[in-house]
């Protein structure tokens, strides 16, 4: 594997899961693989889990790691070609990217949707320039439209906790004060569509996701109906995808918060969220602290997902 930008690039899911569980069982088996190899992690946006888990994954593989927060200490970057650079941006991405490529063997990029142009976001304008101009393998640490390392960790977690071969997975929108990208729900939907699980997506009218990601999922606008008999509840907020409201918060209906009453509609479901989560907006204190909450094992599996992906990229160098 050279670049990793979508969960679909894992290929055969069963084989990918087997590789992940092998990495989890024996995290230090490939220390020699990454020796004298350098990972460069580039953050255009904040992170706790991705930053720490990807770094830990690289260390487990014997790699060296360099981290750059573009907005803290680097030159402000222009991203548009043809601009007369007489403003506050000192450097162009078209030089910065190949320069970054000179200092490493693999590049991880975090670059969220900017919500300035749906076309630019859904064409992955920033991530695709890293792939084109860095000369190095590139993987997504959450880009504009997907968060595949999160999805892989989510799917590993579901595999570990499912009690039946075809669990019912319900991805539910939940309220949040600020506009968030569609990357996590898009990517989760893309991943679950690779399985034969029962998959329901529930959200208020106006929060329809790109049909390309919804795929074979059933969309149910009544959250209570959707939750009936669920084995896993995957909560997430996202902003509107559909025009003319792209990137906007169109409602903050607190009836959609995942509470104990909502969880009582399920088949004693596991609760999942990628974190960071706003308590008592997305999920009540009681639910996130309950024995049914998988948020910590899910975050722990981020090391496993990152290490499995990095290992595949190292094997292809
Ligand atoms: C981001 C999002 O919703 O995409 C990152 C989640 C992993 N969340 C926030 O910005 C709060
Ligand atoms: N889940 C996740 O990607 O968290 P961070 O934004 O903290 O990296």
Written as tens digits, the pLDDT of the chain (317 aa) is 999 999 999 999 999 999 999 999 999 999 999 999 999 999 999 999 999 999 999 999 999 999 999 989 899 999 999 999 999 999 999 999 999 999 999 999 999 999 999 999 999 999 999 999 999 999 999 999 999 999 999 999 999 999 999 999 999 999 999 999 999 999 999 999 999 999 999 999 999 999 999 999 999 999 999 999 999 999 999 999 999 999 999 999 999 999 999 999 999 999 999 999 999 999 999 999 999 999 999 999 999 999 999 999 999 99
Report CA torsion sign: 151, 18, 233, 165.
positive
121 C-beta neighbours (distance < 10 Å), count = 24
10 Å Cβ neighbour count for 162? 15
CA of 268 to the centre of ligand 1 (A): 27
- The per-residue pLDDT for 73 is 87
Model pLDDT, residue 92 = 97
In angstroms, what is the span from residue 86 Cα to ligand 2's centroid?
35
Which atom of ligand 2 is found nearest the CA of 110? Answer: 8
Q: Which ligand is nearest to the CA of 185?
A: 1
Atom 9 in ligand 1: residue holding the nearest Cα: 180
Q: Which residues of 167-180 are buried (b: 16+ CB within 10 A; e: fewer)?
A: bbbbbbbbbbeebb
* DSSP type of residue 41: E
Report yes or no: 94 and 77 within 8 Å, Cβ to Cβ.
no
User: Ligand 1 pocket by C-beta < 6 Å: which residues?
Assistant: 142, 180-181, 183-184, 274, 276
Asked if residues 177 and 37 have their Cβ atoms less than 8 Å apart, the reply is no
DSSP state at residue 255 = G
Atom of ligand 1 nearest to the CA of 238: 3
Pocket of ligand 2 (CB under 6 A): 47-50, 142, 150, 274-276
Residue nearest to atom 6 of ligand 2 (CA): 47
User: Within 13 Å and on the Cβ side, how many CA atoms surround 215?
Assistant: 17
C-beta of residue 235 within 8 angstroms of C-beta of residue 174: yes
Of ligand 2's atoms, which has the minimum distance to the CA of residue 48? Answer: 7
9-44 residues labelled b (16+ CB within 10 A) or e (exposed): bbeebeebbebbeebbeebeebeeebeebbbbbbbb
Single pTM value for the model: 0.98
Q: Compute the distance between CA of residue 67 and CA of residue 48 in angstroms, rounded to an integer.
A: 13
Token pair of 125 as six digits = 């304008």
Ligand 1 atom showing the smallest separation from residue 50 Cα = 7
Count of CB atoms situated within 10 Å of the CB of 270: 25
Residue 312, CB-side half-sphere exposure with 13 Å CA sphere: 20
**Which atom of ligand 1 lies at the shortest distance from residue 176's CA?**
11
- Closest-lying ligand to the alpha carbon of 146? 1
Q: Separation of 274 CA from ligand 2 center, angstroms?
A: 7
For 69, the enclosing helix (H) or strand (E) is: strand 64-69
pLDDT at residue 68 in the model: 97
Probe residue for ligand 2, chosen from 47, 54, 113, 237 as the CB with the greatest number of ligand atoms within 8 Å? 47
Which ligand 2 atom sits closest to the C-alpha of 142? 3
- Which of 30, 18, 12, 28 has its CA nearest to residue 317? 30
Ligand in closest contact with the CA of 53: 2
Give the helix, strand, coil percentages of the chain, each rounded to 5. 35, 15, 45
CA–CA gap between residue 173 and residue 164 (Å, rounded): 25
């Amino acid at each position: 594997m050279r670049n990793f930008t979508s969960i679909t690039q894992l290929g055969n899911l069963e084989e990918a899961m087997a590789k992940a569980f092998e990495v989890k069982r024996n995290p230090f088996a490939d220390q020699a693989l990454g020796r004298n190899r350098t990972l460069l992690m580039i953050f255009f946006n904040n992170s706790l889990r991705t930053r720490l888990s990807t770094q830990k994954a690289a260390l487990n593989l014997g790699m060296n790691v360099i981290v750059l927060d573009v907005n803290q200490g680097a030159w402000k970057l222009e991203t548009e070609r043809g601009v007369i650079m007489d403003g506050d941006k000192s450097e162009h991405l078209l030089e910065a990217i190949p320069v970054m490529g000179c200092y490493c063997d693999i590049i991880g990029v975090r670059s969220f949707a900017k919500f300035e142009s749906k076309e630019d976001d859904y064409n992955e304008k920033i991530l695709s320039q890293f792939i084109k101009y860095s000369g190095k393998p590139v993987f997504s640490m959450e880009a504009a439209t997907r968060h595949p390392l999160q999805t892989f960790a989510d799917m590993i977690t579901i595999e570990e906790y499912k009690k039946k071969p075809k669990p019912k997975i319900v991805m539910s929108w939940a309220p949040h004060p600020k506009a968030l990208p569609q990357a996590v729900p898009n990517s989760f939907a893309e991943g679950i569509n690779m399985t034969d699980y029962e998959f329901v997506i529930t959200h208020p009218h106006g929060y329809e996701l790109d049909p390309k990601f919804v795929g074979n999922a059933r969309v149910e606008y009544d959250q209570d109906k959707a939750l009936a008999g669920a084995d896993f509840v995957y909560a997430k907020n996202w902003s509107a995808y559909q025009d003319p409201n792209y990137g906007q918060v169109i409602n903050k209906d607190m009836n959609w918060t995942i509470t104990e009453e909502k969880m009582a509609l399920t088949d004693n479901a596991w609760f999942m969220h990628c974190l960071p989560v706003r308590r008592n907006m997305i999920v009540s204190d009681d639910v996130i602290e309950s024995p049914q909450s998988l948020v910590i094992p899910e975050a722990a599996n981020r090391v496993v997902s990152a290490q499995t992906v990095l290992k595949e990229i190292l094997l292809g160098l």
